[in-house]
Structure 1
Amino acid sequence: MIKVAPASDRRNVADRKQPPADGPFVLGRHASLLVSAGVVSHTLWTSAAPALTYGLYAQEWHLTHTVTAAIFAVYPIFVVVMLVSFGGISDQIGRRATMLAGLFASLAGALLFAVAPNVWWVFAGRALMGIGVGLAASPSTAAILEFTSAERAKSAAVVTMGAQAIGFAAALLLGGALTEYGPWPMRLCFWVLAFFLIVLLIGTWLLPRHTSGSAGGDWRSRMPSVPRAVRRAFAVSSTAMVAAYTFGVLVLSLGGQVEHDLIGSPNAFLNGAVLSLFPIMMGAIGIIARSLSPRAALIVGALVSGLAMVLLIVAVNFRDLVIYLLATAAAGGAYSLLFVGGLQVISAAAPVHHRGGILSALYLLGYLSMGALALVLGSIATMRGLGFAVNLGAAAIILMNVATLVLATTTPSSTSRSAAPPSST
């Protein structure tokens, strides 16, 4: 079994306390948990927001697959830059302050998309979204864990996964409807996202002011780091995270074009509804995943992920829409199992005063793999064709699943019942 944490380190859940209130208008625990979940949901919403407008940009500005994939890749690249530079900063200045900075950057990015006159504004908006998510992802995840009561610690996994699924689905369903049936098809969905971010900014401003770790610290302590004692657990979690996050490249970067080729419809809402099978299955399987041990979730998730990639290869090569739908649904379920299982492992092992930095290191690997794979597959799609690029990406994900299976089955340990996954705060 996977070693999550020695008994002496399971003080994480017991040590979680309600942060001190500060000021006349401060949210309570439940409202703070809801706001933190909203910040988590924005990370997936901003990631998927342009998914259904890539085709419109390509038509309007005559862009190649390489350029549209580069627009996608700018986002995880800037997420990585922020995680490398400021990954552990929320352990010094607090979750609230770090989330506020991230939300401001994401809002600026959404507004640039909303008014973009050319592709360079889109690149700039994507970079700002990456900065925002890079700052907000790990502190919002940590905040969900810290605002969850000790009696319901494991439900933090479901809250985190549910928030991600809602943000993802909103980007695809709401974004698809606005793109297809609303005015300003390349802009309106970003104005709606901007409004949501303003609401989140107000809610985050009202969160309790606190820091999770000791104040101060040098510059290096703000970078993501993994203490030696939790590196084995981190290795298990990181392979699962990379396998899960690289799905995003196939679903968001190339998936829209694959789907357009299979369905043969230019309808953005229909395409978004099909893509939304991924987050819908994420949320549904997330509820089931909480009843599984981390080891079982990782093993089942890796196996289902491998099956999903095989189905995707078959669907693309034989141009079969039904098989593609099955592949998308299976990939969403696999993402949920890998994500929840991986976060349960690392959350139980991570000391509370290093939680922000450890989560940032985990997200760093996930987003770094996304950015690299998006750039590589975008170039291959332009030179060798979309089908070949999808086949290559699916093969890379299968290799990550094999690594996850090996680590999950060979790491001896016990599972803590009280473990809860860290939130992306």
Structure 2
Amino acid sequence: MSDSSVAVALPGAQAPSRRLPRGVTFAAVAAIFVLFMAASSAPSPLYVVYQQNWHFSATTLTAVFAVYVVGLIGSLLVLGALSDHVGRRPVLGAAVLLEAVSLVLFLVAGGVPVLFLARLVQGIATGAAMTTMAATLVDLDPPHAPGRAGMINGVAPTAGLALGALGCGALVQFGPAPTHLVYALLLAGMVLAALIVAAMPETSGLRPGGLRSLLPRLGVPQRLRAEFFALIPILLASWSLGGLYLSLGPSIASGLFGLTNHLVGGLVVTLLCGTGALATFLLRTRPVTLVLTTGAALLTAGVGTTLAGIAAHLIALAAAGTVIAGIGFGASALASFGTLARISAPAERGELFAVAYVISYLAFSLPAVVAGLAATAFGLRPTALVYAAVLVALAGTALVIQMVRRHAHAS
């Protein structure tokens, strides 16, 4: 089979005449984006429950968290640019199906091995979906509201993470079947998502090179490198913070502050991600360079405040720091992915977003795994203090870089 024939052979690349309107499709894809991210954060409040039921260490906990990222990054590397060649609908449809399989595995999980498998499959599905949905939103960016796709690409991940963690925390604390109900509800959502994908129009034409796009590679076009590389420090700082909260956040709330309510465990994640989503929406009309600098400054201040709260064992101070850092997290996501949407051509978007997400999720996972090992060896409190101190230094570095760039552009 020739390379170009791969694109033609895949179903869904050619859309029938009757499809959802573009405006409806834009809103529906944004909702599916939120659903995927909610599914990815839903296990966070349950980690404490799994740990109590199956008696595993903090190292195993972060390994379960990290295997999701392994699947996600592998998927980004292999499938990140595929929708640029075969179309958005086939890739997104396959991702929805694979996500449904992972949710079934969560439903039947009775121990760590199946939990590992469920998270791995979920990571693969999410990686395939994220770049495809990000590129689809840019394809559908409304002419009357340019830049809306960049805003949604910034809001959807953080909003989804917040909703998934908070909703799961509430269901675990107050609902029946705490390790099953949330996955059953998410599975129903994926069935609806599959129906939407079947009815949506195709937004990307068929292009040769489908097989070649499956070869793992990371590359940024020469003309985009200066702007792209300038975003890396802020991506590292913000996503490293997110990884800490989604992997060990509920454990820190329980182990360091004695907050054993599962809703509070979900609220820890929501304080960061929900605040980030709100900040992304409120800052959507501000200049990108200003938002990048503001995001770096607030990340630095917020993590520093959280560090002080942990050191002094003051819950209110740690919560305030989380809110401040959450605003910085949202501002960073908005400006980073808004910049990518602005500078890229349609044929470059899938691969460019894949590179950005690989960097983000490496920062999201590797430090969290190290933190899990450290928490097992040295304890949760010293691990949280050192992690926060490193993040302050990283966010401060990102702030300096953005200030230098703003000064250079102004002069």
TM-score (structure 2 length as normaliser): 0.90
Q: Structure 1 residue 162: deviation in Å?
A: 3.4
Partner of 1:322: 316
Structure 1 unmatched ranges of 5 or more: 1-19, 416-425
Match in the other structure for 2:94? 101
Q: Distance in 1 between matches of 2:92 and 2:344?
A: 20
Letter of the 2:353 partner, please give it: L
| Cα separation, partners in 2 of 1:212 and 1:281, compared to 1, 3 Å | farther
Does residue 124 (structure 1) correspond to residue 130 (structure 2)? The answer is no
The 5-angstrom pairing of residues 136-175 of structure 1 reads 136-175=129-168
Partner of 2:365: 371
| 2:45 match | 52
Deviations 1:249-281 (A, max 9, x none): 221111101112355232212332343222321
Amino acid at match of 2:365: G
Aligned 1:5-16 pairs, distance under 5 A: none
Q: Deviations over 1:117-148 (max 9, x none)?
A: 11111100000110011101111011112212
C-alpha distance 76-221 of structure 1, shift in aligned 2 (>3 A): closer
Q: Supply the AA of the counterpart residue of 2:239.
A: Y
Q: Cα–Cα, structure 1 residues 227 and 74, in superposed 2: closer, same or farther, change >3 Å?
A: same
Per-residue Cα deviation, 1:276-325 (whole angstroms, up to 9, x for no partner): 22232122211222122111111111111011111121122221110111
How far apart in 2 are the matches of 1:403 and 1:206?
A: 46
- Greater shift, 247-256 or 397-406, is seen at 397-406
Query: Is residue 198 from structure 1 mapped to residue 216 from structure 2 by the alignment?
Result: no
Q: Any conservation in 2 of the 1:88–1:225 contact (CA below 8 Å)?
A: no
Q: Which amino acid aligns with 2:291?
A: A
Residues 210 and 253 (structure 1), Cα distance of their counterparts in 2 relative to 1, 3 Å cut:
same
Q: Give the distance between the partners of 1:77 and 1:131, measured in 2 at CA.
A: 8
| Amino acid in structure 2 at the alignment position of 1:144 | L
1:383 alignment counterpart = 377
Note if contact 1:88-1:224 (Cα within 8 Å) is conserved in structure 2: no
TM superposition score normalised by structure 1: 0.88
Shift of 1:213: 6.5
Higher relative contact order (CA 8 A, sep 6+): 1
Contact 1:239-1:403 within 8 A present in 2 as well = yes
Asked if the contact 1:237–1:343 (Cα under 8 Å) also holds between the matched residues in 2, the reply is no
Query: C-alpha distance in 1, partners of 2:219/2:190?
Result: 29
Cα distance, 1:213–1:314 mapped onto 2, change above 3 Å:
farther
- Could you give the per-residue CA deviations for residues 53-107 of structure 1, whole angstroms, max 9, x where no partner exists? 1111111110100000111111111111111222211111112211112222221
Q: Measure the CA separation in 2 of the matches of 1:317 and 1:60.
A: 30
Asked if the contact 2:289–2:402 (Cα under 8 Å) also holds between the matched residues in 1, the reply is: yes
- 1:214 aligned onto 2:201: no
**Count of paired positions:** 397
Query: Residue 234 of structure 2 contacts residue 395 of structure 2 at CA under 8 Å; is this kept in 1?
Result: yes
Among the aligned pairs, what percent are the same residue?
A: 23
Higher helix content, 1 or 2: 2
| 1:161 to partner: Cα distance | 3.4
> Cα gap change, 1:204/1:296 in structure 2, threshold over 3 Å: closer, same or farther?
same
1:233/1:221 CA distance change after superposition, 3 Å = farther
Q: Distance in 2 between matches of 1:393 and 1:105?
A: 34
* CA distance, structure 1, for counterparts of residue 259 and residue 382 of structure 2: 22
Q: Does 1:278 align with 2:242?
A: no
Secondary structure of the 2:43 match is coil
Shift of 1:189: 1.0
Q: Which residue of 1 aligns with 2:19?
A: 26
User: Gaps spanning 5+ residues in structure 2: where?
Assistant: 1-12
Provide closer, same or farther for how the CA distance between residues 287 and 211 of structure 1 changes in structure 2, counting only shifts above 3 A: closer
Query: How much does 1:405 deviate?
Result: 2.5
* Residue number in structure 2 paired with 1:332: 326
Structure 1 residues 331-379: Cα deviation after superposition (integer angstroms, max 9, x where no partner): 2111111111111222221122111100100001111122211211100
- 1:182 is aligned to 175
Tell me if 1:238 matches 2:232: yes
Structure 1 contact 213–352 (Cα < 8 Å) conserved: no
The 1:276–1:216 alpha-carbon spacing in structure 2 relative to 1, beyond 3 Å, is same
State the distance in 2 between where 1:266 and 1:330 align: 24
Partner of residue 300, structure 1: 294
- Whole-angstrom CA distance in 1 between matches of 2:171 and 2:344: 41
What secondary structure does 2:44 align onto?
Answer: coil
